[in-house]
Structure 1
């Protein structure tokens, strides 16, 4: 690899073969970082690396990663250890929507993209989504457990850095305002008494209540994208727990905004360049910057 990595920051981005993840890789590599681009599909990941190299960004390498498989995260950690010996920046971007969508006529998508407000677009999607249990299960496995698996596998390498950053791509859908249960809201906001083990338990409780049609029972989010909302709320809480435990690192989460990506059939209002600004800013922030915080784009915001 050209330039060596001893003086360059080493960054790793999950779910990076397209969309926001790929653009975060481009911007970090352009800023002088050595970038490990990861993706579940080996062919797509290698193609993405080739595309970045064609832009003159030679310090980008690919490593296959399925965030839902702990053994895959362990292999990734071995690769980073053997190649670089440390990790300075981790951007957990990989995620799924937790729903099945039927958008119907492609011509309708053009109308959505050109004539509806952001709120109207979200409502349009809500009306065309179904939430089978299998999708909800995959959503928690990928968005919450997958992010946690990858972070914990890479934690020793991050702690080997003198100035590490962890950026968890979340969503405004993960804010606690979407929970109707006051007890749940309080528990997820009570970081002094919350543990990662309890978050695992809450993930299981949600899936149990979801399967039994009892989301109202504990006050889980309803009204569409329930599993997605819970997965992101758990990631927000996990970010805060880790930040409290590892004070030498900067760990934050953010909503990149409603970005035009495959997950929403490119009906978002922001470009991927705009959507990547927040993750890149948090990846490169000064050492005295915030930690355990939530950002809406590039602005700090509340978890509620």
Structure 2
């Protein structure tokens, strides 16, 4: 179920990954409410089609669905072909899809909000941490989806984005992807050296993280990765997303604006609804960067809508 909009679009066209629920659905809703044509993508075809139909029933007719498995190049290529055929261009890509890369046990979902009532964001995060573990498979999925998946979709859609008069890429990231969480100076310096960093090297670092994780016995700490026993893979994956954002911004120059956004601690299924911001509030930050006035920054990190001083 891909929708029925055909032909070159006079409206701006946006793609949102992970758009069938939570913050991704809200990003689609807000972009469509601003008058854009929105391609809502999701891995699950039934849920994605239902989400797009829901938005159309709300009075947002220019929302269409296309199935996407972000870590599969062939799936990303099919999405690119669909957009080229239907719209002839792409103006905005929001890489929202992601996973926390952990296994959680929060007990009875029906009583969760009652349990969390009165806790601030830090207390909620700690409560979740105590009920969270990370397996090797969790970590592999985290890097595959958060970093490699975002890169796969971006590379497939880059030719269409380059054809826009004001193309933008917004990568949803996390404050946990900042380099302050890396314990080693050498890794921090390399990831911060955007003038010399390459995508090939980022791919190598992704593989190296998983190799060190598999070794155990303190290998992560010795190399200088984030040493968090639960969220190390998530931190590494988002740091790689931030670095990829900067490398791509350098390569594309002013022709394409590429930025990343930390939306805050949002109530989503990814964190078992332990966040403090609503999905709409989190989405508003990504949408604000996506729709910022022409000619702004590129290769930057936004903490919600505030421009960060650095990625460190």
> Which runs of 5 or more structure 2 residues have no equivalent in the other structure?
none
Written as runs of structure 1 = structure 2, the 5 A alignment for 1:79-228 is 79-106=82-109, 109-213=112-216, 214-223=219-228, 224-228=230-234
For 2:296 and 2:137, locate their aligned partners in 1 and report how far apart those are by CA, in whole Å: 39
Question: What is the CA–CA distance in structure 1 between the aligned matches of 2:109 and 2:269, rounded to whole Å?
Answer: 14
Query: How much does 1:3 deviate?
Result: 9.8
The answer (yes or no) to whether the contact 1:215–1:221 under 8 Å persists in 2 is yes
Query: Cα distance 1:108–1:225, how it changes in 2: closer, same or farther (>3 A)?
Result: farther
Q: What CA distance in whole angstroms lies between the structure 1 residues aligned with 2:38 and 2:20?
A: 13
Q: Using structure 1 for the length normalisation, give the TM-score.
A: 0.97
Are the aligned partners of 1:180 and 1:219 in contact in 2 as well (CA < 8 Å)?
A: yes
Q: What is the number of residues matched between the two proteins?
A: 304
**Contact 1:88–1:158 at 8 Å: present in 2 too?**
yes
CA distance in 1, matches of 2:62, 2:158: 22
Counterpart pick for 2:30 among 16, 23, 27: 27
Root mean square deviation, CA, Å: 1.4
On the 8 A contact 1:5/1:34 being kept in 2, the answer is: no
Q: Does the 8 A contact of 1:11 with 1:34 survive in 2?
A: yes
TM-score by length of 2: 0.95
Which of 243, 247, 252 does residue 246 from structure 1 map onto? 252
CA spacing shift, 1:4–1:71, aligned 2, 3 Å: closer
> Partner of 1:12 in structure 2?
15
Q: 2:272 aligns with which of 252, 265, 272?
A: 265
159-168 vs 110-119, greater mean Cα deviation: 110-119
CA contact under 8 A between 1:112 and 1:121: conserved in structure 2? no
Give the one of 66, 70, 74 matched to 1:67.
70
Once the two structures are superposed, residues 169-205 of structure 1 have per-residue CA deviations (whole angstroms, 9 ceiling, x without a partner) of 0001101011001000000000001000000000000
In 2: Cα distance, 1:104 partner to 1:6 partner: 47
Q: CA–CA distance in 1 between the matches of 2:154 and 2:96?
A: 12
The alpha-carbon distance between structure 1 residues 216 and 49, as it changes in their structure 2 partners (threshold 3 A), is: same
Q: Is the 8 A contact 1:133 1:210 kept in 2?
A: yes
Q: CA deviation at 1:33?
A: 0.4
1:170–1:255 Cα contact (<8 Å) kept: yes
Relative to structure 1, the CA distance from residue 108 to residue 176 in structure 2 (aligned partners, 3 Å threshold; closer, same or farther) is farther
Q: CA deviation at 1:107?
A: 6.3
Cα distance in 2 between the residues matched to 1:183 and 1:287: 36
| Structure 1 residues 18 and 105: alpha-carbon distance in aligned structure 2, compared to 1, 3 A threshold | closer
Match 1:76 to one of 63, 76, 79 = 79
Secondary structure of the residue aligned to 2:117 is helix
* Alpha-carbon distance in 2 for matches of 1:219, 1:239: 22
How far does residue 280 in structure 1 lie from its aligned partner after superposition? 0.6
> Helix, strand or coil: the match of 1:220?
coil
Matched residue SS, 2:236: helix
Q: CA deviation at 1:81?
A: 1.0
How many angstroms apart in 2 are the aligned matches of 1:4 and 1:19?
A: 30
